[in-house]
Amino acid sequence: MKATSVEPTPYALELCGLSKRFTLGGKMFSKKRALYAVSDVSLRVPRGQVMGLVGESGCGKSTLAKMLLGLTPPSEGDVLIQGKSITHSDQKTLARHVQPIFQDPYSSLNPRRRIGDIIALPLRLHTTLSSQERSQRVTAMLDLVGLPKRATQQYPGQLSGGQRQRVAIARALIMRPDLVICDEPTSALDVSVQAQILNLLLDLKEEFGLTYLFISHDLAVVEHLVDRLAVMYLGRIVEEGSREQIFAAPKHPYTQALLASALTPDPSLDIPDLGLGSVQPDPSRPPAGCAFHPRCPQSSPECRERRPSLPPVDLHGTGRVACHFA
């Protein structure tokens, strides 16, 4: 499965032992401390599938996304896209393969550029098309994401949140990347608009044969959209498996709590009691042993001392879980 293999890999994205370390402090009066935002993440995303990535704020999912986009270099490990390592490829080459869709459509579009210029930017950077050809491609793309042609002349401030997110999607997809990193693409949108954008993402995936890494904290949306799911807790993947496996029988206590905490609009159900206690995780001081043990309802002395390891990625893509009790 290395870049040297002749056969094209069936994976759009492979992460091998990926870590990101930040140094905290080290200024005049404080001691230096290492913070692992992401540690030892290995994951494979088959081409044409949607891989969900869930976890709470500070679990490292956004840092992971930044590394995949080449916005921050990994401290350890490697990222392979279509079987090729991105460590030595420049940002421009990487950009043709991976594109982001960010959470906040209010801040992801430059307020002082027209929509037409925003969507045409990838074409200007990566192609030698004439301005007329560019504007044809932009119009075609606008049509695909359901915006009228006249939007090219407008500024982001003149569009609604849903329309802006359509623009962000158009910009991400106009160069036909292989992999799209969707970082909470609907969480800043109203509920009634969220469904429009999710439908659009699903349609475009079919149309272009895209692979998505879909980062979200909304488990109902994740269950609707993904083929596989990875659950992160304090920088590590604690469980990974197919949608059916995880949603039908979550094995890690954290996954179980996450699934239980998803509130479906069913008035006959009560507010779930997760039994997690009121401790909140601090990424800069991860507990020894299993990082989840201070909140885990089943924790044992072993959990406090020894960190359970996640089995390596296997070829069959069966579920993996990092828990002593699984």
d(CA 3, CA 6) in angstroms, rounded, equals 8
d(CA 319, CA 326) in angstroms, rounded, equals 11
Element (H, E) at 261: helix 253-261
Please list every residue from 28 through 87 that binds other proteins, using CB under 8 A. 56-57, 66, 69-71
d(CA 24, CA 32) in angstroms, rounded, equals 6
Nearer to other proteins, 1 or 56 (CB): 56
d(CA 242, CA 226) in angstroms, rounded, equals 9
d(CA 253, CA 260) in angstroms, rounded, equals 10
Please list every residue from 84 through 103 that binds other proteins, using CB under 8 A. 90-96, 98-100, 102-103
d(CA 52, CA 34) in angstroms, rounded, equals 28
* Cβ atoms of residues 86 and 94 within 8 Å: yes
Stretch of residues binding other proteins (CB under 8 A), selected from 6-14, 19-27, 191-199, 307-315 = 191-199
Taking the complex as a whole, the smallest distance from the CB of residue 289 to other proteins amounts, in Å, to 20
Contact residue for other proteins among 87, 131, 136, 199 (CB under 8 A) = 199
* Cβ atoms of residues 281 and 288 within 8 Å: no
Number of residues located near other proteins, criterion CB under 8 A? 87
Q: Does 309 bind other proteins (CB under 8 A)?
A: no
Element (H, E) at 321: strand 320-321
Taking the complex as a whole, the smallest distance from the CB of residue 315 to other proteins amounts, in Å, to 24
Contact residue for other proteins among 9, 63, 82, 163 (CB under 8 A) = 163
**CB-count exposure of residue 173 (10 Å: 0-12, 13-18, 19+):** buried
Stretch of residues binding other proteins (CB under 8 A), selected from 6-14, 15-23, 215-223, 310-318 = 215-223
Stretch of residues binding other proteins (CB under 8 A), selected from 9-17, 74-82, 156-164, 304-312 = 156-164
Characterize the bridge pairing of strands 320-321 and 236-242: antiparallel
Stretch of residues binding other proteins (CB under 8 A), selected from 1-9, 35-43, 75-83, 157-165 = 157-165
Taking the complex as a whole, the smallest distance from the CB of residue 321 to other proteins amounts, in Å, to 18
Contact residue for other proteins among 51, 141, 169, 225 (CB under 8 A) = 225
Tokens of 301: 């002395």
Contact residue for other proteins among 6, 130, 266, 315 (CB under 8 A) = 266
Please list every residue from 267 through 296 that binds other proteins, using CB under 8 A. 267-274, 276, 278, 280, 282
Phi, psi dihedrals of residue 141, rounded to the nearest 5°: -65, -40
Taking the complex as a whole, the smallest distance from the CB of residue 11 to other proteins amounts, in Å, to 20
* Cβ atoms of residues 95 and 179 within 8 Å: no
DSSP string covering 287-307? PSSSTTTTT-TT--HHHHHSP
Identify the bridge partners of residue 181 per DSSP, sorted by sequence position. 100, 213
Nearer to other proteins, 8 or 111 (CB): 111
Q: Does 314 bind other proteins (CB under 8 A)?
A: no
Binding mask 133-152 for other proteins (x = CB under 8 A): -------------xxx----
Nearer to other proteins, 129 or 193 (CB): 193
d(CA 117, CA 132) in angstroms, rounded, equals 13
Tokens of 52: 């969900």
Contact residue for other proteins among 262, 294, 299, 324 (CB under 8 A) = 262
Contact residue for other proteins among 171, 251, 252, 293 (CB under 8 A) = 171
